[in-house]
Chains A and B, each alone.
Chain A
C-alpha cells in the first residue's frame, strides 16, 4: 500500500484578473499519509479552498505537482480523474452542492460506484441520525442537515483519502463532534484526512497543522499560535 496518500509539490494557481494574473496559491507543499489528520487554517480568501480543489483533481494547477496514491490526476483523462475521485477520494465541498430534485439518500449516493448505493446511503444517514430524513428534498432540510449530507456523500464509498472543506460549518457542537468523529474514524482505519476548518485543530485530533496566508502554506509548529 502506498504510504503517502496525497503529495503536493510547488503547487501554484494563478487566476487572470483584468489583464494581469493573481497568484492565489503560491508554491504550496503538503503531504497526507495513511493514518494522518492534517488541518489547514487561514483567513477567508487566503487560498485554502483553491488548494483543496487542486488536491482533489478538480482544478488544474498553474504549476507544481499533485499525486494521489502515487498518481498524478492531471496526467489522466477527465473521465479517469473523475473515477479516481469516485473510488479513492472523498471530497466535502465547501458549499451546499446538492441536487434540489433528489432526496437526501439519492444525493448521498449520487457518485457511488456499484449497486445498492441508495441502500448504503440510507444506512449511513441512519447512523448519522438522519434516518428519518432520507426521503426529504434538500430545500426542506436545515443547513446543519445539509452539511451532514455533504459529509455523508464524501464518506459513502469509504475512500482512503478525505479532503474536507469546512465540514463542520453551520453545525452545533453535538454535530461537530459527530463529524469530527467520522473523520477520525477514517484516520483510525488507516486513511488520511485533510481538513480546512475554523474549528480548533484539537477537535480533529490533528497530527499536523498548516496556516495559509496570502496563498502561502506554512506549517504550524506551535498550535497555540494559531
Chain B
C-alpha cells in the first residue's frame, strides 16, 4: 500500500529539487554569490568607515578648550596653555554631547636634568556615546610611578625603556619611549593626570580639554558656530579653539564615506538581483511547459504561486544564508588587506543569517515571479511542450 500522504506543495518542490539537483545547486550558487557580494561590500564599507574614523582620530583633535587667560600666541609657541580651568568643567562638556571623545590634560614646562621638558598629564578618556574606543594616546597605560617619553626627550638623555629617571625630585620608571612624531610631542614627558597634578601641586586643575569627533551632524551648516553657541555660555573662564580646516575635512570625509555606503549597497543589490533574475528567467522559460501543465490540470494561481514561492524560499534562503557566511569569512580574512591594519572584526549574528535568507528568498522570488505570472496567464495549450 502506498503512502497516504497528500500531494502538498513542499512535496512537489522537494521532489523537483531532488530531480533537478544540478540546476538547483546552480540556483543556490548564484543567490549565494549575490548575497556574498552584497554583504561583503556592506561589511567592508562598515570596516572602512570604522578605519576612517580611527585614521581621523590619529590626525589630530577637533576642539581645544583652554583657560580664558591663555595667550594663543604663547599656546602655539610653547605647545600648551598658561592658566588653569577647573576639572569639573569636563562633566559640563560631556553633558552637552558636542564631541564623542574628551581628553583632560595638564601640561607645564619643568626642569629636567640640564634642560627642560613639557610634563604632560593625560587623564582617562571619556566617551560620550558610551562605547569604549582605542584611546587617542593609546598604549600609554601609565600608572603612578611610570612615565612615557617623547623621542627627543628620551634620545637627548640616552634613556630607554626600563631606565629610572628623576623629575621634580621624584623617581619614575621609563615605561615606554615613543617613535619620533616630528612635532612638539617629541619633547613631552607623559604621565597619569592625577600623578602630574600631584607632582605640580595642582590638584583638580586642567589647562586643556581636547574634544575629538565632533557630534555635529550633516544638517549643521556651520559646526563652529553651533559648538560655540552650545558650549561658551556653559564654560565661564574658558576659550574654545577649533582646528577648523582639519576638523571640517574629517567631517566631510566621514559624510562622504557614509554616502558611498548608502549609494553602493543599492546598486550592488540591483545588479546582483539582475543576474539572479536572468538565471531565474532562463530557468523559468525551461519550466514554462510545467507551469502550463499546472494550469491545464486546473491548479489555482495561488497554488502555482505557492510552489514558486516555496522553491524560492528554499533555494534562495539557502543561498542567502550561505552567502552571508561566505561574506563573513571573506571579510574576516581579507578585511585588513583592503582597509588596513586595525580594521577590527564584524561580529556574525543570527540576525545576519536571517537577513541573508530573506534577501536570498526575495531575490529568487522576484527573479521567478514575472516569467511565472506570464506563463500562468498564457493559454496552457500554447505553453505545454510539443503543442
Contact = CB atoms under 8 A, between A and B. Distances in A.
A60 B382 CA distance: 10
The contact size tier of chain B is 35 or more
A99 interface: yes
B384 A118 contact: no
A83 B300 contact: yes
A53 B301 contact: no
A86 B379 contact: no
A113 B384 CA distance: 21
B298 A58 contact: no
B381 A82 contact: no
A53 B296 CA distance: 10
Contact of B298 (A60, A82, A94, A99): A82
Given A79-B300, A85-B297, A102 B381 contact: no
Given A59-B379, A83-B300, A85-B298, A95 B387 contact: yes
A107 to B, nearest CB: 9
B5 A118 contact: yes
B377 interface: yes
A109 B7 contact: yes
B222 interface: no
Interface string A47-86: 0011001000011100000000000000000110011111
Contacts of A41: none
B290 A78 contact: no
A78 B376 contact: yes
Given A99-B293, A111-B299, A53 B6 contact: no
The contact size tier of chain A is 35 or more
A59 B2 CA distance: 36
B12 A102 contact: yes
B380 A86 contact: no
Contacts of B15: 101-102, 106
A137 B386 CA distance: 20
B299 A110 contact: yes
B11 interface: yes
A91 interface: yes
B6 A78 contact: no
A179 interface: no
A116 B382 CA distance: 31
A100 B20 CA distance: 10
30 contacts: A53-B381, A53-B387, A58-B296, A58-B379, A59-B379, A59-B381, A78-B301, A78-B376, A78-B377, A79-B300, A82-B300, A83-B300, A84-B298, A85-B296, A86-B298, A95-B387, A97-B293, A99-B16, A100-B19, A101-B16, A101-B20, A106-B15, A111-B298, A112-B7, A116-B6, A118-B7, A134-B2, A135-B2, A135-B3, A153-B297
Interface of A: 49-50, 53, 58-60, 78-79, 82-87, 91, 93-95, 97, 99-102, 105-106, 109-113, 115-119, 122, 134-135, 153
